[in-house]
């Protein structure tokens, strides 16, 4: 795949190449693309960016022939890639066999985006993003490493992108922002733009791990009445002592009321939790699975994995000694107290719970 991608890039005769590394666990694949570009004669400057490169820029520069890494939000840096890279905010670069860098900047104005994804027989699927960052500061989350503050696209810009979108068939918009519910009025305004431009039959989903603490029964009802067809919720853990370590609170009664309200409104809900946080044990995760199996939800178990720079993993030297692929949930690596065998066993149990629920025509 890296070789195929490199050949396609070269066919465009680029003046510069920007490789977005979505997550650190994919660092080797991104670096291999850069390697293939150079191997096949690419002389254009190459830059890495994205959340993966932002959390550990030197990893990418030391292991590739790329000239730059753009840390953080690269809106301004990309525009300066060809001619003003030395003063571009957040740029890391090689100078005389040393790596130097500029401080990142946080754009005050951000731009919304809506993309067409695919079309089924009757429905056209779109994806939209309207915010950056998160107002919460949970220790296990890497969002703050590349987007330190929570910001929203200005509503006139949001309305403009809705008006310019070519809506086809019966539109469905997946709103990708996981923190957007913290400004509920802003979310409702976006939904109103959707209805205004795509028609009253347009639907939407929230599938990127919505924080239940920002919802309540009345808000769930309003979302369902407005066309919500799928809700993914981030629970993280039911154990307060674990959450407190990571600067996160819990309100389990509120959580139950939210998922039960969604069920009554006919909105399919999947609840995600993290298995393997510091202090987690096999018995405690089993308790979480038992709790979720009793609720009208599907269960999403996410094995814990670190990202360079998050709480307890600030020492980036650790990541220079291991494969980035261990920083994927699918590695089931024993980062804390749960073994690989235990994580795999618990993951299979979560899948079995969902299989049983689906076989009973749930939800």
The residues, ordered by sequence, that sit 6+ positions from 311 with a Cβ below 8 Å of its Cβ are 139, 140, 246
- Residue 97: predicted pLDDT: 84
The residues, ordered by sequence, that sit 6+ positions from 147 with a Cβ below 8 Å of its Cβ are 72, 73, 106, 132, 133, 134
CA separation for the pair 230, 248 (Å, rounded): 25
- Residue 362: predicted pLDDT: 58
What backbone torsions phi and psi does residue 51 show, to the nearest 5 degrees?
A: -60, -35
What backbone torsions phi and psi does residue 65 show, to the nearest 5 degrees?
A: -95, 15
Instruction: Tokens for 38, please give them.
Output: 């150079």
Q: Under CATH, to which class is 2-101 assigned?
A: alpha beta
Are 203 and 225 in contact by the 8 Å Cβ rule? The answer is no
- Residue 91: predicted pLDDT: 92
The residues, ordered by sequence, that sit 6+ positions from 252 with a Cβ below 8 Å of its Cβ are 238
- Residue 311 CA: distances (Å) to CA of 135, 144, 161, 322: 17, 11, 37, 18
Are 202 and 162 in contact by the 8 Å Cβ rule? The answer is no
DSSP string spanning 65-115?
S--EEE-S--HHHHHTTTT-GGG-TTEEEEETTEEEE------SS---EEE
Q: Classify residue 222 as exposed, middle or buried by CB count within 10 Å of its CB (0-12, 13-18, 19+).
A: middle
Q: Which H or E run includes 12? A: none
CA separation for the pair 217, 196 (Å, rounded): 25
Whether 113-359 and 2-101 are alike in CATH topology: the answer is no
CA separation for the pair 314, 299 (Å, rounded): 30
User: Parallel, antiparallel, or unpaired: how do β-strands 298-303 and 123-129 relate?
Assistant: unpaired
Walk along the chain (363 residues) in steps of 10 and give the mean pLDDT of each run. 91 93 96 96 93 96 94 82 79 91 87 95 95 93 90 97 95 96 98 97 95 97 98 97 96 98 97 97 97 97 97 96 96 97 98 91 59
Phi-psi region of 332 (alpha: psi -120 to 50; beta: other; left: phi over 0): left
Residue with tokens 């699927």: 125
CA separation for the pair 136, 144 (Å, rounded): 9
For residue 270, the 8-state DSSP code is E
Instruction: Tokens for 119, please give them.
Output: 């079309």
Per domain, the residue ranges of the chain are: 2-101, 113-359
Architecture in CATH of 113-359: Alpha-Beta Horseshoe (3.80)
Phi-psi region of 106 (alpha: psi -120 to 50; beta: other; left: phi over 0): beta
DSSP string spanning 47-61?
EEEHHHHHH-HHHHH
């Amino acid at each position: 795949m890296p070789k195929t991608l490199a050949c396609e890039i070269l066919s465009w005769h680029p003046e510069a190449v920007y490789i977005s590394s979505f997550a650190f666990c994919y660092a080797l694949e991104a670096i291999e693309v850069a390697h293939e570009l150079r191997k096949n004669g690419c002389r254009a400057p190459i830059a890495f960016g994205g959340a993966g490169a932002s959390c550990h820029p030197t990893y990418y520069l030391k292991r590739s022939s790329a000239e730059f890494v753009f840390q953080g939000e690269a809106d301004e840096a990309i525009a300066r890639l060809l001619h003003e890279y030395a003063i571009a905010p957040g740029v890391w670069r090689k100078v005389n066999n040393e790596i130097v860098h500029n401080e990142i900047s946080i754009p005050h104005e951000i731009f919304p985006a809506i993309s067409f994804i695919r079309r089924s027989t009757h429905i056209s699927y779109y994806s939209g993003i309207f915010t950056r960052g998160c107002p919460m500061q949970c220790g296990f989350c890497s969002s703050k490493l590349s987007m330190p503050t929570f910001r929203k696209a200005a509503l006139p810009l949001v309305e403009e992108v809705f008006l310019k979108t070519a809506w086809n068939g019966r539109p469905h918009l997946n709103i990708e922002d996981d923190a957007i519910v913290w400004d509920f009025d802003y979310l409702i305004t976006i939904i109103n733009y959707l209805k205004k431009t795509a028609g009253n039959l347009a639907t939407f989903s929230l599938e990127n791990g919505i924080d239940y603490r920002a919802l309540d029964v009345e808000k769930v009802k309003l979302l369902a009445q407005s066309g919500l067809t799928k809700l993914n919720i981030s629970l993280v853990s039911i154990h307060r002592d674990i959450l407190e370590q990571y600067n996160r609170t819990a309100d389990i009664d509120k959580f139950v009321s939210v998922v039960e309200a969604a069920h009554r409104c006919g909105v399919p809900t999947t609840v995600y939790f993290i298995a393997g946080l510091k202090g987690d044990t096999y018995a405690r995760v089993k308790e979480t699975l038992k709790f979720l199996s009793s609720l009208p939800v599907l269960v999403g178990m996410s094995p814990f994995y670190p990202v360079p720079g998050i709480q307890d993993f600030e020492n980036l030297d650790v990541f220079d000694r291991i494969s980035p692929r261990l920083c994927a949930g699918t590695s089931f690596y024993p980062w804390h107290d749960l073994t690989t065998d235990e994580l795999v066993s618990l993951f299979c149990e979560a899948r079995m719970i969902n299989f049983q629920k689906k076989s009973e025509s749930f939800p």
